[in-house]
Structure 1
Amino acid sequence: MKIISLVIPIFNEAAAIPALFKYLKELSLQLVPKYRLEAVFVDDGSSDRSVELLYRYLPDGVCCRVVELSRNFGKEAALTAGLDHATGDAVIPIDADLQDPPLLVLKMIQAWEKGAEVVLAKRARRSTDSYLKRESANWFYKVHNLLSSQKIPENVGDFRLMDRVVVDALQSVRERNRFMKGIFSWVGFRSVTVDYERAERSAGTTKFSGWKLWNLALEGLTSFSTVPLRLWTYLGLLGALAALIVAADIVIKFVFHGADVPGYSSLMVAIVFFGSAQFISLGVIGEYLGRLYIESKQRPLYVVRPPRQQPSPYPAEESATSATDTEALTAFPPEPRFTTRRST
């Protein structure tokens, strides 16, 4: 029996967990007997009762695995940890708030069965977002796809189905500064798109502030584009050309017309303008240098707590489960697996 893995990052989602378990039970019943459902919960350093509720109310009939990170590493790292620990033939990242409907998984599986290696879930509308978030998201996609050589599909988040061959390829990408939407797009493979309407949160509040979204946008631009660096080269050339033209004009007026060109105020404006431009350009360069510095340390993407005593995710396969639990004791993710098997 093939396995469908759901990777569910958890960060202070105690209010949403009861409804999440209910949906997982319904989905598991609809997948049987053709598929077995595996749920990989990745706790990203929650400070509420999320972990306690995960262990207390693990749903019957669903093979569950709880991966506890030692602290809050961020959603991108938590998502990576989930992909590393998922064992399914197809893997689907999904949020715990149920804005991405789990029952859409059935439609995604149908597309996967027809040969798609990646099934993208695209939001038909962003009606559940505020006006500011909608506009900022639209501008982000436009700017990113304009500046980056690696395009990302608009209004498509992390919610997607990926064949095992795609997940194995993702596990070979171990960069520390992670923008998962870009990495998903970078690895390629055959993809199809499924449209859907995103619901309101089932419970709780969003954990992504405007500042976090801004930093994530910067991560995406600097991870997949060097255009900002080149842009300052071009602006520098234009500034030098403009300075030469102004200098030539001053010399001509002084030599041929004897005009002494006053310019204290204009000189100060020019100094302030070009000084500000230099600071901005240094900031752009600093963003790239900072990321190189972090990459050079080669720290693990995440650290996993020693696993608690929990029910075996596959009761009939105790030996396989024991090996997986032992593996989770290490701070480093499992070695990437490579395969040439095509999706079914």
Structure 2
Amino acid sequence: MSVSHAGLSIVIPIYNEEETLDELYRRLSVMAEGLDLDVEIVFVDDGSWDRSAEIIQDFNSKDPRVHLVQLSRNFGHQIAVTAGLDFARGAAVVILDGDLQDPPELVPEMVAKWQEGYEVVYAMRERRDHESWLMTTTRKAFYRFINRISDLDIPLDAGDFRLISSRALKAMRSLREYSRYVRGISTWVGFKQCAVTYHRPSRHAGESKYSLFRLGKLALAGITAFSRWPLHLLFIVGLSVASLSFLSGIVALILKLVQPDIVEGWTSMIIFISFISGVNLLAIGIMADYIGRIFDEVKGRPIYVVGNLTGFDETIPTMDRMIYCPPQPLASPPEKQP
């Protein structure tokens, strides 16, 4: 099947998932057979150091629907998703995690919604297996927090598991910022959207690649990419502290005039100085994050580098801020001159 004739593309970012790939491919194949659409499966190897790429290449040798995009190193989940969206050629694209926590069996329901006229169909998690109360509470709090402070109504409890029409994807491809938050971008482009609900199971095998640090980094990217609220908060805090300082100065001046011999205590001064210092450091940190993201953008570096492609038999797409460096055959050494 030619890539350009795919009715549905399934984009799957992969990072060291060799233990899940056979079961993932089996379930995808069963699901695809039940669809009245041509299907292509675009795996994106995000710098795996296990046998993931080798296994996917073996799938491709037996099934021309399978394609592989190999990034030159680990660029991160959101950028791997972006690479898959760039190479997908279907009339609609489904983003699916490779750990089987996003069940392929939900895809037909998403396709049905798309055929009803929806441009984006996102999967909303009703329940998660084997997740601590603290993690569940933190996730829910984050989604509600970002909705309150952002300029968008980002769907609650929905990750990257979603179907995106070619029309919405065209708009998303034009947004080439370096700091990626795909679920926010798919909301930003607009169009008619709806949700399907599902029960998110535990991983089929292995461990989550999202550490607490990576989750925090993703949350920060979502906040700073779609909200100026932290900067507004700094202005309010700064104005409040300045007002408090002014009032404290007036009180100190009055006390000095009323009681010239008053001995001022150092405790209140230390507390006040510590408070001001903490506010200043917080302000510098928030502004530094925004400035750092500006710095990443103005450098103009590519979002990702592709090191190898498998299964693509047509012209490679030319996208802004993307580089494809295919493997080069080893040149023969020059003959020794007599």
| TM-score between the two structures when normalised by the length of structure 2 | 0.90
- Deviation per CA, 1:30-84, whole angstroms, max 9, x where unpaired? 11xx311100000000011100111123485561110000000001110000000
Name the structure 2 match of 1:213.
215
Q: Percent identity?
A: 38
Give the distance between the partners of 2:64 and 2:154, measured in 1 at CA.
33
Give the distance between the partners of 1:283 and 1:66, measured in 2 at CA.
39
Show structure 1 runs of 5+ residues with no match. 314-320, 334-344
CA RMSD of aligned residues (A): 1.9
Name the structure 2 match of 1:26.
30
Question: After alignment, is 70-79 or 130-139 more displaced?
Answer: 130-139
Name the structure 2 match of 1:322.
314
User: 1:2 Cα shift?
Assistant: 5.5
User: 1:140 Cα shift?
Assistant: 0.9
Give the distance between the partners of 1:247 and 1:327, measured in 2 at CA.
62
| TM-score between the two structures when normalised by the length of structure 1 | 0.88
- Deviation per CA, 1:106-139, whole angstroms, max 9, x where unpaired? 1111111111111111111234422221111112
Aligned residue type for 2:114? W
Name the structure 2 match of 1:297.
299
Q: 1:108 to 1:331 in 2, by over 3 A?
A: closer
User: 1:261 Cα shift?
Assistant: 4.6
Q: Secondary structure at the match of 1:47?
A: coil
Give the distance between the partners of 1:99 and 1:128, measured in 2 at CA.
11
Show structure 2 runs of 5+ residues with no match. 325-338
Give the distance between the partners of 1:129 and 1:7, measured in 2 at CA.
25
- Deviation per CA, 1:274-326, whole angstroms, max 9, x where unpaired? 1121111101110001010000011111000133xx5x56xxxxxxx2323x8
Name the structure 2 match of 1:69.
71
For these two proteins, the number of residue pairs brought into alignment is: 319
Aligned residue type for 2:141? W
Name the structure 2 match of 1:12.
16
Q: Secondary structure at the match of 2:304?
A: coil
Q: Does residue 332 of structure 1 match 2:323?
A: yes
Q: Answer yes or no: is the 8 Å Cα contact 1:40–1:86 preserved in 2.
A: yes
Name the structure 2 match of 1:236.
238
Q: Answer yes or no: is the 8 Å Cα contact 1:25–1:59 preserved in 2.
A: no
- Give 1:138's match in structure 2, choosing from 126, 134, 140: 140
- Give 2:131's match in structure 1, choosing from 129, 132, 156: 129
Aligned residue type for 1:149? D
Name the structure 1 match of 2:290.
288
Q: Answer yes or no: is the 8 Å Cα contact 2:60–2:67 preserved in 1.
A: no
- Give 1:186's match in structure 2, choosing from 164, 185, 188: 188
